[in-house]
Structure 1
Amino acid sequence: MSAADATPTTSASKTTRGPYSTGIARRRQIIETATKIFGQHGYHGGSLRQIADEIGVSASALIRHFGTKAELFTAVLDHSDSDKSKVSITENRGMTALRGFAAVTHINVHNRGLVQLLLSTASESTDPDHPAHKFIALRYSQLLENLSNAFRQACEDGEIRPLSESEIEHEARGYIALMDGLGLQWLIDPTMDLEATAEHVYEGVLRRLSADL
């Protein structure tokens, strides 16, 4: 292929990438703004009009990208759980995984809107007809399973005292409740040192469980 033959292809490629890139950027902007609005007002309280006004576009522009409010909300939730910067307890084992879960607060303090979104959604979605009910139920189920595995591994590795299966479930549910409860207090009182409080509370749990070794 000659240089002359290659020129039109390169030009067409640039033309294709331009609008595509713009579309991706706009989609991300919509999701980030929707995260903020839904976090502040919940699914039912947050409207497409509020999101559109915040961005400076029409509500019909949002529909072109996401179809419906429910689909936009689902996209927001999917995005919140696909953040690669989050500490994953599935990447580590035992005590390291348990401490990694507590370290998620380092991410949370820089993502207030995300914390608002997840906690307000968790509260609203106790209604089985809420569009996020299945998503939140699955999210808590996976958290419970992962944390239970981490506690079980910590027992196997001799990092904490032996626990029965029922005790493991209780500790795992308590871990989740601590995270949500501390997050809620921080949203109400932003002067609270979320990271330091979480570290203190979670380390207290781990010290209690390893005290009899």
Structure 2
Amino acid sequence: MAGETAPVIRGPYRRGIERRERIVRSASEVFGEFGYVGGSLRAIAERVGASPATLIQYFGSKEGLLAAVLEDWTVQTGRSTLPESARGLAYFRQMRDLMEFHVHHRGLLELFITIAAEATNPGHPAREFIQQRYSNGLQLWTCKLREAIEDGDAGAMTDQQIEAEIRILVAVLDGIELQWLLGADIDLPGLVSTHVEQAITRWQTTC
């Protein structure tokens, strides 16, 4: 009803929620540093002052904990999602904002890059999640480039050209992010913005 406030969660239930959140965040750190394969339940448990059995109690298995980590990653990175309301080239010019988010949330980027690399193994439990993330991103970015063409802001391209442009853009951004994570002395937002503008110029003049 209007005017009613949400109940305040207190006591053991609230403590259980907070402990679960601490486990998930600690697991995110460990998986980001060592990967899913190298990140042990024992290492995660030590960070939260618990036992591996406690983690199993909360999540059922290491794979269940990974699922919780990826769910939390999705929520956290949702804050960085580029507004889909931006049309055509305006959407791509927001990439600098996305990189600024990465700079201030390094651990989230590190987690994704690490798990994505591991997920090239067909048996990895995060393989489907990573594949879907890339598929969704490619589809969205393809739509935005098509919008730019429809608006006359980019030259005509075949479907094959559009796909190649988007895949190359994704690959370059991934590569720059990886170099930054490896300690390269680069301006991540600035370098990505420069590349995006170069791509836009090419779309406008050469395609």
Paired residue for 1:179?
Answer: 173
Contact map agreement 2:95 2:193 (CA 8 A) in 1: no
The 1:171–1:212 alpha-carbon spacing in structure 2 relative to 1, beyond 3 Å, is closer
Paired residue for 1:39?
Answer: 32
Matched position secondary structure for 1:189 = coil
Whether 1:57 aligns to 2:50 is yes
The 1:198–1:16 alpha-carbon spacing in structure 2 relative to 1, beyond 3 Å, is closer
CA RMSD in angstroms comes to 2.1
- Once the two structures are superposed, the pairs formed by residues 102-117 of structure 1 within 5 Å of their partners are 102-117=96-111
Which of 1 and 2 has greater Rg?
1
In the TM superposition, what is the alpha-carbon distance from 1:14 to its structure 2 partner? 7.8
Q: Deviations over 1:87-107 (max 9, x none)?
A: 235343211222224431111
Distance 1:59 1:181 in 2: 35
Contact map agreement 1:89 1:147 (CA 8 A) in 2: no
Higher RCO (CA < 8 A, seq sep 6+) = 2
Paired residue for 2:189?
Answer: 195
In the TM superposition, what is the alpha-carbon distance from 1:56 to its structure 2 partner? 1.5
Paired residue for 1:157?
Answer: 151
Work out which of the residue numbers 131, 139, 146 in structure 2 matches 1:137: 131
Give the TM-score, by structure 1 length: 0.86
Contact map agreement 1:36 1:117 (CA 8 A) in 2: yes
Q: Give every structure 1 segment of 4 or more consecutive aligned residues whose post-TM-superposition deviation is greater than 4 Å.
A: 13-16
The 1:20–1:175 alpha-carbon spacing in structure 2 relative to 1, beyond 3 Å, is farther
Contact map agreement 1:125 1:133 (CA 8 A) in 2: yes
The one-letter code matched in structure 1 to 2:44 is: I
Distance 2:133 2:9 in 1: 37
Give the TM-score, by structure 2 length: 0.89
Distance 1:66 1:99 in 2: 40
Matched position secondary structure for 1:127 = coil
- Once the two structures are superposed, the pairs formed by residues 196-211 of structure 1 within 5 Å of their partners are 196-211=190-205
The one-letter code matched in structure 1 to 2:112 is: L
Greater shift in the superposed pair: 147-156 or 170-179? 170-179
The one-letter code matched in structure 2 to 1:19 is: P
The 1:89–1:137 alpha-carbon spacing in structure 2 relative to 1, beyond 3 Å, is farther
Report sequence identity in percent: 37
Whether 1:18 aligns to 2:14 is no
Distance 1:174 1:183 in 2: 14
The one-letter code matched in structure 2 to 1:125 is: A
In the TM superposition, what is the alpha-carbon distance from 1:205 to its structure 2 partner? 0.9
Instruction: Flag structure 1 segments of 5+ consecutive residues without an equivalent.
Output: 1-12
Paired residue for 2:93?
Answer: 99
Number of aligned residue pairs: give it: 201
The 1:66–1:154 alpha-carbon spacing in structure 2 relative to 1, beyond 3 Å, is same
